[in-house]
Structure 1
Amino acid sequence: MKNKIFILFTFITFGISAQNMETFIYAIKGNDTLRMDVFTPKNIKKADTLPVLLWMHGGGFSGSHRAYPDDNELVKYVAKEQNYIGVSIDYRLLRKGTTTGFGCDCTKDEKLETFKQAAIDYMDAAKYMVEHAGKLQIDTTKIIAGGSSAGAEGILNAVFMREYFITNKETYKNVKFAGLFSCAGAVVDASYITEENAIPSVLFHGTKDQLVPFGNAPHHYCEPTRDGYIMLDGSEVIAEKLEDFDTSYYFNIVRGGRHEISRIPFEDLEKVFQFFEQTVISDEVIQTKIIKTKQP
């Protein structure tokens, strides 16, 4: 049942802003039915196979949803303006309703398990797309992993720490990512970034992010004595690793920026997808840092 396609509904409108949208169930895990919304350009032809942005929403692993207005607007944008398939997914919100949340009272082991299961859910969504690539009309060699905040942590751990978090690796042997788009994310251990798994990456992060560290620092800046003390490697460390491997990156740094930089940067999307056009589609190597200062 898990791998069967369920078309729940199709929403089609006509006009300049129209896209086709279908919703699929990609997995059922316990009481969680995990869905993805798939947006395709309105003028897609039957023979087309297009790049895809596979997006994971934020919310501290306890809230939000795949159709949150900003996340929904992003995947609609890529279908309308960039000729991509835009996909936004559900995943298990393992910290929802817990007394300890996902801050300094949430134990390190609970945090690692949350990261692990989020990475697995993301990999299952990617696997579903690959297995149904013909129907979805995606180019499986051009999957862009994307997410914000908790979603960015989920996709970064899925892309770079598959060897650590995934035990049944053979299950996902056909899942390959061509690029990533992270808004205020971090990885558990950047030493797992290698020349083999390094991919063109767009990274947005504030230097004073109080929740997800910009560099190497504790998650939520918990004190070492707290249950939730765990070190993470943020965008600064990830960019350094990519530079070491001569891998493309577009690193947008906001000096003084806090976790609000996890919002989707709609004003910069043209530049983001121009970067993917040059690096993922045309195979150029580009390393760019943009440094801004947070406005008072």
Structure 2
Amino acid sequence: MKTYTYATKGLDTLKLDVYTPENIKPTDSLPVVIWMHGGGFSSGGRNGIDELNIVNAANKNGYIGVSITYRLLRKGTDTGFSCNCSKEDKMFTFNQAVIDFLDATNFIYQNSNMLQVDTTKIIAAGSSSGAETALHASFMRRFFISDLSKYEDIKFAGVIGFSGAFLDIDHLTIDNAIPVALTHGTQDKAVPFGSAPHHHCIPTKPGYIMLHGAKTITEKLDTLESSYFLNLVKNGTHDAANVHPEDLDDIFYFLNKTVLKNEVIQTKKYTLPKPTTY
């Protein structure tokens, strides 16, 4: 593992850790998973247990794993990212997180030769708020960033999301559809499994916004005849955002078939909630 600084923004020095498979050859150019941790844009870090689980699985499957830090704009605020956080603050937080994610991706792209990354096979990935950001960066970047010239070369080849959702399902189209692997609890009260208000806020709350989760996303991909893998955690809560190693084999099998071999796969897996051990 090597650590790099990908940006400095105000008082925030933003770093990323690059995990490379031990058996990589000097001539190899490998696919990469870029991971953003969860934590409601107020907590978490790039070297937690979820992060280690995902980068280890990436290396095992012949991918480079990257785990990034980003600006935690809701840290220390009175409202966090809850129903009392205004819609305007939520949208600004989404916007800045997407910029951080794209800046980290741009660093990987610009240093792809040194890092031995195949820039045609970049997977955007994350958990909870990180998954929301990965989805927004993949399907709604034009909504958040008016001038995309800095990022015009970046094209994601797939998405991994644990308990994620995004703002407008109409931004997912036949032109930008890519393979998506999602894990989501059907009873998630924070980030909706289908289409519902964020945190199930009532319309009179300042933070009332609609989000579209794994159920709605995969239904849209089904109509577009595009690839998806859905790990549907029956009666699962937001704890489904936790990354368990035993769930990652199916995700990377899916990515290997769809991203690396261009096959079209649409599949659902039904699992039960796992006990929280950390």
> Could you list the runs of 4 or more consecutive aligned residues of structure 1 that deviate by over 6 angstroms after TM superposition?
none
Q: 1:61 to 1:295 in 2, by over 3 A?
A: closer
Letter aligned with residue 111 of structure 1: K
Instruction: Report the more deviating stretch, 187-196 or 265-274.
Output: 265-274
1:55 has 2:35 as partner: yes
Aligned to 1:65: 45
Report the alpha carbon displacement of residue 184 of structure 1 after superposing the two structures with TM. Answer: 0.3
Which of 16, 19, 23 aligns to 1:36? It is: 16
C-alpha distance in 2 between matches for 1:265 and 1:36: 22
Letter aligned with residue 28 of structure 2: D
C-alpha distance in 1 between matches for 2:247 and 2:44: 23
C-alpha distance in 2 between matches for 1:293 and 1:85: 30
CA RMSD of superposed structures (Å): 1.2
Aligned to 2:55: 75
Letter aligned with residue 67 of structure 1: N
Counterparts of residues 159-174 of structure 1 (less than 5 Å): 159-174=138-153
Letter aligned with residue 122 of structure 2: I
C-alpha distance in 1 between matches for 2:42 and 2:177: 29
Percent of residue pairs bearing the same amino acid type? 51
Counterparts of residues 4-15 of structure 1 (less than 5 Å): none
C-alpha distance in 1 between matches for 2:186 and 2:253: 25
C-alpha distance in 2 between matches for 1:293 and 1:64: 25
Aligned to 1:132: 111
Q: Please, what TM-score do these two structures have when normalized by structure 2?
A: 0.96
Which of 226, 230, 233 aligns to 1:251? It is: 230
C-alpha distance in 1 between matches for 2:21 and 2:231: 28
Letter aligned with residue 132 of structure 1: N
C-alpha distance in 1 between matches for 2:56 and 2:225: 32
Helix, strand or coil at the partner of 2:123: strand
Matched-pair contact (CA < 8 Å) for 2:132–2:166: yes
Matched-pair contact (CA < 8 Å) for 2:196–2:212: yes
Structure of greater Rg: 1
Q: Please, what TM-score do these two structures have when normalized by structure 1?
A: 0.91
Letter aligned with residue 265 of structure 2: I
Report the alpha carbon displacement of residue 83 of structure 1 after superposing the two structures with TM. Answer: 1.3
Aligned to 1:87: 66
Unaligned runs of 5+ in 1: 1-20
Report the alpha carbon displacement of residue 70 of structure 1 after superposing the two structures with TM. Answer: 2.2
Helix, strand or coil at the partner of 1:55: strand
Counterparts of residues 226-237 of structure 1 (less than 5 Å): 226-237=205-216
Report the alpha carbon displacement of residue 294 of structure 1 after superposing the two structures with TM. Answer: 4.0
Aligned to 2:101: 122
Aligned to 2:162: 183
Matched-pair contact (CA < 8 Å) for 2:240–2:273: no
**CA deviations over 1:8-51 (Å, ceiling 9, x no partner):** xxxxxxxxxxxxx1100001111111000001011211111000
Helix, strand or coil at the partner of 1:87: strand
User: RCO greater where, 1 or 2, for CA within 8 Å and sep 6 or more?
Assistant: 2
Unaligned runs of 5+ in 2: none
C-alpha distance in 2 between matches for 1:60 and 1:295: 21
Q: 1:293 to 1:78 in 2, by over 3 A?
A: closer
Report the alpha carbon displacement of residue 289 of structure 1 after superposing the two structures with TM. Answer: 1.1
**CA deviations over 1:43-87 (Å, ceiling 9, x no partner):** 2111110000100000110001001122123213322x1111000
Instruction: Report the more deviating stretch, 198-207 or 260-269.
Output: 260-269
1:260 has 2:239 as partner: yes
Aligned to 1:7: none
**CA deviations over 1:217-245 (Å, ceiling 9, x no partner):** 00001111111111111111111111111
Q: 1:295 to 1:94 in 2, by over 3 A?
A: closer
